[in-house]
Structure 1
Amino acid sequence: MDENAIRAALQRYIDYSGVDQDISHEIYHEDAVLEFPQSGERFEGIENFREWRRIYPARTDFEIRRLRGSGDLWVMELIVTYDSGSSMFGVSVFEFRGDKVIRETIYGGEAWEAPEWRARWRSSRPIVDDSPAS
């Protein structure tokens, strides 16, 4: 699959996540694996993680901040909002086999205030999406 097709597939995945689990899960192979290292959870087979996502107890909204990759490995930085509350940051690592995802590894965390003691070394330029336009 070429880069533009992968970008489009990952955007479609985000656009439909939390909205339509059948469409959002089209990106995966049937035997895909979903991992959450922070909780130690591993889900094997698309049916196992699609079904718990159907009954997820919060409304989720996703925004892609940056998407980088090539070949079979892609990394997505995103912002996730639960029930219109505070935003959290996340990273999803996608491993492709052919034109579908065979493994997704998800990391998440809350934002924090930058400590003042490091200010003198910090760049004044904000973090921006420097990935190629899709």
Structure 2
Amino acid sequence: MKNIDELIARYIATWNETDPAARRAAIDELWSPDGVYTDPMAVATGTAAIDATIAAVQEQFPGFTFTLAGPVDAHHNIARFTWELAQDGAEALVVGFDVAVITADGRIDSVHGFLDKIPTGA
């Protein structure tokens, strides 16, 4: 398996990539073709749906950036990590916890997301 810290950093980077062509290329490289992303607000199956989900989040939170909020913890083919969504220098508006399942060839097969902090009314 590839370096898990690098893989998760690349995953987070896709959520920050605003150029549609660059984002889609990164997703296609990073995810298995039938990859599945789930969180309490979305289910996306396949790279096109994952790309559309990321684009929708970027539209909902313009000017916000995703960052890792601590170290990646991993074993076997599973990684867990906390992330934050915030504007530069501001307190995180959204905080989440994801569990990624990695394929044998080092691509993301699924991400199971949990939201620990969301804006009031979201």
TM-score between both structures, scaled by the size of structure 2: 0.73
Aligned to 1:48: 49
The yes-or-no answer on 1:63 pairing with 2:70 is: no
Specify which structure has the higher proportion of helix: 2
1:29-40 matches, within 5 Å, as 29-36=32-39, 38-39=40-41
Alpha-carbon distance in 2 for matches of 1:69, 1:79: 19
Dislocated runs of 4+, deviation >3 Å? 82-86
Instruction: State which structure, 1 or 2, has the greater radius of gyration over its C-alpha atoms.
Output: 1
Unmatched 5+ residue regions in structure 2? none
Q: Give, in angstroms, the shift of residue 54 of structure 1.
A: 2.7
Deviations 1:35-94 (A, max 9, x none): 11x23x321111112123234312331221221011111001111126976412111110
Alpha-carbon distance in 1 for matches of 2:96, 2:117: 9
CA contact (8 A) 1:78 1:89 kept: yes
Among all aligned residue pairs of Structure 1 and Structure 2, give the percentage whose two residues are the same amino acid. 12
Alpha-carbon distance in 2 for matches of 1:35, 1:83: 26
TM-score between both structures, scaled by the size of structure 1: 0.67
Alpha-carbon distance in 2 for matches of 1:81, 1:8: 21
Aligned to 1:78: 83
Q: CA RMSD in A?
A: 2.4
Aligned to 2:109: 102
How many aligned positions are there? Answer: 107
Aligned to 1:90: 96
1:72 maps to a residue whose letter is: N
